[in-house]
């Protein structure tokens, strides 16, 4: 019941891009340094984001990555489902129509559905812009202290 590094790194990468949107592309090397993440591994995670069109890559010197949309138009759910696969607590909830033989009489299914709804509610209603706001709130607090 854990989110793996793929999902976590993907979110941190996207957030890093959102926080450094100067117009210049952001290099993996810089993100991996700031986030203290293996750059070669981050590369592979970012490849997923790139292939899905979540980011645009610019190759060569002065290259890097930029967001393709406004931060408010990325939900955590989108990023997590791309990198982690479905985010359901039990596999049978992944399909539109439950394929499990026992589904009709499965009592626990109701419970899992409620858990799934609770998870989806959070991840589908939190955007990258929300995290950027959190970051700005934290910075403001530091200045006060």
Partner DNA sequence: TATATTTCCTAGTTGTATGGTAGGTTTTAT
Partner DNA sequence: ATAAAACCTACCATACAACTAGGAAATATA
Residues that bind a second copy (CB under 8 A): 1-3, 7-8, 11-12, 15, 36, 76, 80, 84, 87-91, 102, 105, 107-108, 110-112, 114-115, 118-119, 121-123, 126, 130-131, 134-135, 138
Q: Which helix (H) or strand (E) holds 40?
A: helix 39-51
Determine how many CB atoms are found less than 10 A away from the CB of residue 3.
15
C-alpha atoms less than 13 angstroms from C-alpha of 144 in its C-beta half-sphere: 6
User: Residue 41 Cβ, how far from DNA at the closest point, in Å?
Assistant: 4
Buried b (16+ CB within 10 A) or exposed e, 31-65: bbeebebeeeebeebbeebeeeebbeeeeeeeebb
User: Residue 143 Cβ, how far from DNA at the closest point, in Å?
Assistant: 31
The residue ranges that bind DNA (CB under 7 A) are 4-6, 27-29, 37-38, 40-41, 43-44, 46-47, 50-51, 57-65, 84
Q: Which does 22 bind (CB under 5 to 8 A by kind): DNA, a second copy, none?
A: none
């Amino acid at each position: 019941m854990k989110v793996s590094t793929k999902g976590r790194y993907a979110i941190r990468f996207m957030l890093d891009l959102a926080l450094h949107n100067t117009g210049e592309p952001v290099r993996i090397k810089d993100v991996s340094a700031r986030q203290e993440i293996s750059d070669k591994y981050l590369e592979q995670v970012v490849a997923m984001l790139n292939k899905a069109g979540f980011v645009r890559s610019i190759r060569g010197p002065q290259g890097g990555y930029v967001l393709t949309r406004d931060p408010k138009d990325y939900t955590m759910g989108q990023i997590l489902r791309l990198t982690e696969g479905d985010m359901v607590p039990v596999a049978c909830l992944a399909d539109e129509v439950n394929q499990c033989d026992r589904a009709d009489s499965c009592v626990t299914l109701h419970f899992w559905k409620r858990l799934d709804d609770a998870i989806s509610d959070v991840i589908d209603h939190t955007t990258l812009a929300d995290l950027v706001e959190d970051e700005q709130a934290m910075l403001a607090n530091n200045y006060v202290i």
